[in-house]
Amino acid sequence: MSVNFSLEGKIALVTGASYGIGFAIASGMAKAGAKIVFNDIKQELVDKGIAAYKEAGIDAKGYVCDVTNEEQVNAMVEQIAKEVGPVDILVNNAGIIKRIPMCEMTAAEFRQVIDVDLNAPFIVSKAVIPSMIERGHGKIINICSMMSELGRETVSAYAAAKGGLKMLTRNICSEYGQYNIQCNGIGPGYIETPQTAPLRERQADGSRHPFDQFICAKTPANRWLKPEELAGPAVFLASEASDAVNGHILYVDGGILAYIGKQPQ
C-alpha cells in the first residue's frame, strides 16, 4: 500500500514555499520521495527557504519568480525542466490576504488579491499542463480556503478569489482529466503559523485572545491546526493513491465547515 503513496522520482513545484503552509507541504512531499522546487518573489525569501529546507535535511531548489507574471512563470518552468526535470506535481500555494472592509477597499487592492490568489494559479497551471499532457500524467493541487465556501467580514477579495479558485480547480479537472491529470484543492482551516501567533497569545489577565476563543469554539477539534497536518492530505492528492480523485476540495479544517458552533451557555 505504501507504494501507492510514494512520490519517489517525482518533481514537485510548490509556489511561495519558503515558509509556512507551503514549506510544510513541500517538506511532507520530500519525505515521501519527491524532489522539491519552489519559488518566492524575492531572493532573500528564496535564500531563507533554501536554508530552512537544508536544516530539515531536504535538498530543495529555489527560484525567484513573480507568479502573477506570465513571462517569468514560463521562464521558470522552462528552467526547472532543464535543471531538474519536468514538473510532475504542482502546488499553487502562493497567496495573500488583505483584511479591509469592502467599502473601504480600493479596486486596486481588490485586483491585487485576485491577481495573486486566482490569476497566478491559472498562469502557473497553464505553464505546466502541456508537459503533463505529453507525459500522460500530472497532479495539480490548489490551496483553497474555507473562504471558498464561506464569507466573513473584511475578506471580500480573498473570498472571491478562493471561491474562483475552487471553480478553476473543477474546470481543470473537467478539461484535462482525459489526459490523466488530476486537479484537486486543499482548504486549510485556521493554522498555527507565525502570522497567527498574536491571535493565540494569552492576554495580560491570563485569558485567551477573543479570536482564539472564537476559532476553538467553532472547531470540533477545539484547537488550531498545525501546518504539518496538511502534509498527509497533500501527499495523498499528489500520489497514485488519488488517481480516481479529481475536481475535489479536501477541507483540512478540524471539522469547522461541518459545525454550527457551540450553544451559548
251 is catalytic: no
At residue 237's C-alpha, the angle toward residues 232 and 242, to 5°, is: 115
At residue 250's C-alpha, the angle toward residues 24 and 237, to 5°, is: 60
Place of cell 500555494: 93
Rounded (10°) angle between helices 70-83 and 120-135 = 40
Q: Pick from 25, 241, 243: which is nearest to 142 by CA?
A: 25
How many whole angstroms from its chain centre is CA 73? Answer: 17
Active-site position among 53, 63, 158, 190:
158
Which residue(s) pair with 181 in the sheet? 138
DSSP secondary-structure letter at 177?
G
Secondary structure, 3-state, 21-81: HHHHHHHHHHHCCCEEEEEECCHHHHHHHHHHHHHCCCCCEEEECCCCCHHHHHHHHHHHH
Which residues have a catalytic role annotated?
Answer: 158
